[in-house]
Structure 1
């Protein structure tokens, strides 16, 4: 029996520009930690080899330090690692892989598949058929050669590729780096390990995407995992078991506020975020000034608990109540301004009107608070 660990899309060196610098640094560090966990999983489960189906690095220009750190993170598993260049780290004439070789960073138990030719691992009786990308995008199926590839009789055939299985994935992404549906059966593969789709996905009985081992985007696609695969004998269907590897949970939350109780429910949801959560929060609907203040306070508190929280209140309409206006003591001209800003939320400059209303309410609220403790009105 052959046991392997299938992983892909490590994206080492990925930048997270939408986050604050300290948060981005921790998210980037988590990708190295994910590789360390993969090495531990491989050792604990006594796998025969680890397959990495492309995009080991996020870009060709990662720092030399990053290259060394990546291979050091793999040291926890002493068995064979088989790495495939993907679209982010394609096997160009001059690439991150040629630089890694010059740096002598690649350990002896790591094989980088730079050419489309069978890799025969006699020690474990496995043939790996890799389809490395030699440019970022190609419109030809680089796995076509699998069917004609000759391998020793009785040796399991495992395909390794990075791209889009045609007609399977969503969002119209199956144009670049195509892979024909049914390739595993057509090429007599016992298992086809794929990368490029960042979520875990079964294509057919012998073909899987493992997804990225550490989630890196706000998309509910079953990421943060790797696949333990067992092949009992050539021709037998593989047994595939997902194993969790991710550190952070990424959430995209859209909360609609229409009645006062919706604000209370939103506050409960926001307060539940913890250190393992990376959150994209969108608030829409309407609330009064008191509810708005409570939401802002809750978001700031949550930012101190969650790994990261990105909040968008641009679709939230402020509707001050009579009590809000009375509490602000905004009569006369100020009252008229507040009324105009409130109405302006229906126009082309809705965001400007809402921000101005929020700012004015905050100033008046602060003045009222200062007056209450003996300050100047």
Structure 2
């Protein structure tokens, strides 16, 4: 009986885990887009299993060493063999009842989100595994003095804009809570000695910065989808500030990227620009900080790839994206401060290209 116990534990664990995952799927798949309570419970379940995975992996190695130790010790010890078999059975159960359920439920969550095409939206919602992304990233940027450093290096870019208006119009269509955007507006105003009109929005409901109107900064916030902005924006914008925002969520796929670029193109002045993030890619470091984010710890670097990494391949010479914007890295910014400018191709140049294509 004792010899069969580990095998029985494996079969029992697999059976229970499979039953739970099926029930989990049948409960949450039809409800998370209909019932808010179930959506919250789903996010909590997904977060718990995601956090268990990095914990379960060390347990797996402990399990392997335990088995190895048991096999070696059983040959040299005077203790009854049943004692070692009992230890083997216990270590097997610990391993099976942590890693297997966490892994299977986690994969079930990924399957549900994939089928419903809502992976990234769910992860950033309250209790989602990335729900603290905005707060933790802003805290990291404050720690490295990000706004003053970036503002100073962006000053030549701001001065290159030909607008003669006393107010510089900036739009941030995916501003999260607007904290960083307000800090930038105040910094830009001080550096350029011009009034900054910063209009911010985000599609997700959240606590955000309040409206502010001073002689130097006019700041507004509105919850809305970015593609609703043409109906809400009264003036063309000099700058669209979009780090980890609308363009990031296109993942560089033309089907999503081109409509977003066309939206920005239509919202900008004739020589307007889009500012996006382009820090150095440190995949290993990003992965570590992603796990730190899962556990609510301080970030020591960014935990995601940059917008520039997602979209740069779409701007090959002759591509549809390159006909709307050109990419320029901001001089003097590297490491966690890296930024890239998308400079709008003038309308007359764009029209000339279209004529040449039609003739061809």
Is the shorter-chain TM-score for this pair beyond 0.5, marking a shared fold?
no
Q: TM-score, normalised by structure 2?
A: 0.30
Q: TM-score, normalised by structure 1?
A: 0.29
Which structure has more strand as a fraction of its residues?
1
Which structure has more helix as a fraction of its residues?
2
